[in-house]
Each structure stands twice: as C-alpha cells, then as structure tokens.
Structure 1
Amino acid sequence: MTDAELAADIAAEAGKLLVALQKSGLSGQALCNAGDLQANNLILARLRAERPGEAILSEESADDLSRLTRSRVWIIDPLDGTREFGEGRDDWAVHVALAIDGEPAIGAVALPALGITLSSDAPPPLRPAHNPPRMLVSRTRPSQLCANVCGMIGAETITMGSAGAKAMAVVRGEAEIYLHSGGQHQWDNCAPAAVALAAGLHVSRIDGSPIIYNKESSAIPDLLICRSEFAECVLAAV
C-alpha cells in the first residue's frame, strides 16, 4: 500500500475497533481508557509491521525524541475527542498522519460513528461555500477570540467536539471556517491538516504562518483551517 492507503486503512480499522468497544458494555472512564489504549496498540502494531523502523509520535505513547533526526515521522491520535466518544456522540475521530520534513504530507481522518474515512489521496470535492460563513468552535471550551472574530466577520457559529471532526466538517462542506486558539498538539491537527490541504483549503497558524511538524515540543497553540476565500478576512480579524 502507498503511505496514504496505509494511513486510511489503519485509521478505518482503529475506528471499527472503537465502535465495537462502545457496544461492549463498558462505559464512562473505563470505556475512554480502553479506547485510548486499544486503538493506540492497534495503530502502533500496524505501523511497525508495515513501516518498520520509522519514527512515530503518538498522544498515547512516550515521546522518543530520536524522531527529530528523521525525515519521515508518523503522527497519530488514536482517539481524538475522548469525551465525545465516551458520551456516545458522533463528533470524534481517529488521526493517522505522516509528516515529511516537517510538512503534513499524508493524512487520514476516520469518523467512525459516521462510517467515513477521509484521506489526503482522495479528498471530496469542495461544495459551494455558504455565505454568511459558518465557523466551527469548541463545544466545551469556546474561546473569546473565536467569538470576537465571529462577530467581526458576521459568521454563524457551530459547536462541535473533536479537532478532527471540526476540520473534516470544513472539508465536507458543513462549515467554512475552523478557528482554534486554545492550544493543541501535533497529533491533534497533523492528519486533519494533510486532508484539508489536499482538499484545497487554507491551513495555517492564526498569524498566517505555516504549521511545522516534528518539532521537539508537541504543542501547537493555534490553528486555522478554512475555505481559501475566507482566509484573508479571518486572519485580518485575528
């Protein structure tokens, strides 16, 4: 399989495991812990079998900083939106990405509760943009910056759970803007960024600079994924 095919296959397989876990009788924190652990184990096993020796950065594993010497680094979030997963919602995701020389080159985002996996090698065509634009914000921690930008550009607000679900909502044409300023990590947005870029969307930090992956710190403080026609006005408002 190509890297993109592998990423999509692994994300989809982990998603099926997680959906099965939701039906297993587990609930609450026990369900969330099992989801994080089992999905991570599955993804690591697949990558080590299919791409032996390549570097991996996962939210659920200790960080091996030898990755900093590598050109290719797999960046994964086995369960993005653990709270939503535990609550039985559909706005959670699985992220499998490959950063090459710091760029989000390959990515797949599974939305298992919807039975969908979006990949950087086959993004859906963009639908016509909605005007006024719709902006996705956190359903539990919406920032004041997002509220201010929404008001300045006249956007409608949509609340949603995981970063992957929000980013893919823009890719799928359910919204035009995903603005985040509350702090994230590389695994939160590498796969979504790869899919969004492949779909022709704007992806950057909120100062307009590109996001660089495989840095020593996993932190990425902010993110903008949006339709290209809205990027200038959103960045100006920020």
Structure 2
Amino acid sequence: MRELDDNELAYHLATGIGDIVRGTRAGGLLYGRSLARVANAVAQDWTDEVLSGHRPDDGTLSEGVADDLSRLDKSRVWIIDVIDGTKEFSTGRSDWSVHVALVEDGVPVLASVGLPDARRVFRSDQVDHVNGPSSGKIVISRNNPPEGAREVADALGLTVRPMGSAGAKMLSVLLGDADVYLHAGGQHEWDQAAPVAVALASGLHASCLDGSPIKFNKSKTYSPDILVCRPDLTEQVLAAVAEHMPAHV
C-alpha cells in the first residue's frame, strides 16, 4: 500500500469521492432521493475502506455513519461529508461539495474541499484567497436563509446571493466571488470542518458569529453558526452581525 502524508490522503479522498458521486449520475438512471441515497452509500463505503487501510488508528466522523463516540478518545479525527448539498446534487445543480478534514485535538489542521462538477479540489496546503476588489456580495443558504442576514447585508452595503452547500459558499469567498459567507440556525461538524480548515489556511477569517473559534470533535456534533469573510471586513461584519442577528446556541 502506497504511503501518503495527511495532505495527500485528504486530497485523494476528496478527488475519489467526487469521482464516485458523479459516476452515480451516469446515464440519468437514478434521480432524486434514490440517486442521493446510492451516491452517499457507495462513496461512504469507499471512504471507510480507504481510512481503515491508511489511518486505522485515527477516529472518524461522517454524516452518513452512526456515531459511536469512540472518536472522543482520539487525538486525530477525520471529519467527512461525501456530499455537502445533497439537494443540489440530486437535482442536477453544481453547487454541492465534498468535505474531507483532519482535526487534531479539536482544531482543523488540514482539509480538501472538492467541487466535483467543476473538476476542482482545494487543498489547505496549496491555497490562497483572492485578494482583489470587493465583489459586493454576501452568500447565504438557499434552503435555510438565516434570520437577520439581509439586514447585515444592508448594513454592509452588500447584495445577498443564495447558494447551496457550505463548501461552495466558502469557496465563493476564497475565489473572490463573494466577500462574506454567514449562516445561523444550525449545521453539523461535517458541514464546517473542511471549509473552515481551507478558509483559515487561505488567509480568510473563519469563526463563530460571535468571533470565537469553531471547535470540533465534540460529543454533540451540532454547530449553531459560522462566518467566513475577507480578513479586512472581519470587524465590520462581526459588528453588523451583533447588531442585526439574534444569538444562536
């Protein structure tokens, strides 16, 4: 078995998952919930086999696998979401993503986030954010828009743009297509770990909406909110959030 360092393993996992998931669309033979169910199952089985072979001593946390909490006794935990944005994927949209992150002692230390329909994978060890002119946009969830987000956008002079997965929204900030991504109302660690790791590695700001770090490998996987933004806008965004958005726990 070929030895891979952690960054290479994360990259190949994200690439392989994306290829597998895209392959389940072949010929249009499956669609909707059936497509999503099969794609999740096949990609997750492959991921579990890879990790059990290459990192048998590490913990894992995945959306599609029952959580037995043994990961809490591990220093190193892989947090995976084989399809972030299931609705987008299963309806033929492109704004879904693949999340692979390694968390050490609660901190996301590396990750790869894939946009399979664009044939792109963003690695935390090989990434920088676009530091050009402001796009004038803030991205929020299409399916669950957070209360107060439009008031925050108005306060910052930004236009709201709804999008699909958390990974796709974070990458829109990284690529300079948006200035801010924020969400409230709840996500899980697999929604956030890989996007947070890549965002931080690229030089973007990533935190809870109150500015505190997002913690991972908790006993309860729920995370109330997230903010990713251009570093030069951090103070303005946090102030607008504090004024216009209700606190979430």
TM over 0.5: yes
Q: 1:64 deviation in Å? A: 2.1
Instruction: Tell me how far apart the structure 1 counterparts of residues 133 and 50 of structure 2 sit (CA, whole Å).
Output: 38
Instruction: Tell me how far apart the structure 2 counterparts of residues 155 and 173 of structure 1 sit (CA, whole Å).
Output: 14
What amino acid maps onto 1:172 in structure 2?
L
Instruction: Tell me how far apart the structure 1 counterparts of residues 147 and 105 of structure 2 sit (CA, whole Å).
Output: 34
Asked if structure 2 preserves the Cα contact closer than 8 Å seen for 1:129 and 1:176, the reply is no
Match of 1:136 among 124, 128, 139: 139
TM-score computed with the length of structure 2 as normaliser: 0.92
- Structure 1: segments with no counterpart, 5+ residues: none
Counterpart for residue 158 of structure 1? 161
Instruction: Tell me how far apart the structure 2 counterparts of residues 79 and 86 of structure 1 sit (CA, whole Å).
Output: 10
Match of 1:68 among 64, 69, 72: 72
State the Cα RMSD in Å: 1.1
Counterpart for residue 221 of structure 1? 224
Offset from partner CA, 1:158-216 (integer Å, 9 cap, x none): 11100111011111221110010121000001001000001000010000000010110
What amino acid maps onto 2:124 in structure 1?
S
Instruction: Tell me how far apart the structure 1 counterparts of residues 129 and 184 of structure 2 sit (CA, whole Å).
Output: 28
- Structure 2: segments with no counterpart, 5+ residues: 242-249
Matched, 1:91 2:91: no
Q: 1:43 deviation in Å? A: 1.2
Asked if structure 2 preserves the Cα contact closer than 8 Å seen for 1:205 and 1:211, the reply is yes
Counterpart for residue 15 of structure 1? 18
Match of 1:120 among 106, 124, 135: 124
Q: 1:125 deviation in Å? A: 4.5
Counterpart for residue 53 of structure 2? 49
What amino acid maps onto 1:185 in structure 2?
H
Paired residues in the alignment total 237
List structure 1 runs of 4+ shifted beyond 6 angstroms. Answer: none
Asked if structure 1 preserves the Cα contact closer than 8 Å seen for 2:84 and 2:96, the reply is yes
What amino acid maps onto 1:179 in structure 2?
L
Give SS of 2:24's match. Answer: helix
Percent identity over the alignment is 44
Instruction: Tell me how far apart the structure 2 counterparts of residues 14 and 129 of structure 1 sit (CA, whole Å).
Output: 34
